[in-house]
Amino acid sequence: MVGTTQVQSNFSEIVKKAYEIGISDRAITVQKLIEDIKSDLIKTGQYTIKTG
């Protein structure tokens, strides 16, 4: 199980990465940034997709 500190660290890194991409890539859309954040959160187990 991942500890709270590790989860916060992962989340912070994901948000920092998205911010840096948003600042440097003028062509990226908010929707694409959100998709990327969701993908990264899913990879780290911090976000799950609820179905039906």
| Total-model pTM | 0.68
The per-residue pLDDT for 3 is 66
Tens-digit pLDDT profile for residues 20-30: 999 999 999 99
Domain coordinates in residue numbering, the chain: 4-43
> Tell me: the pLDDT tens digits for 7-49?
777 888 999 999 999 999 999 999 999 999 999 988 888 777 7
Of all helices (H) and strands (E), which one includes residue 35? Answer: helix 30-43
What pLDDT, on the 0 to 100 scale, is given for residue 22? 92
Q: Which residue intervals of 1-52 are DSSP H helices?
A: 4-24, 30-43
Whether the CB-CB separation of 37 and 14 falls below 8 Å is answered with: yes
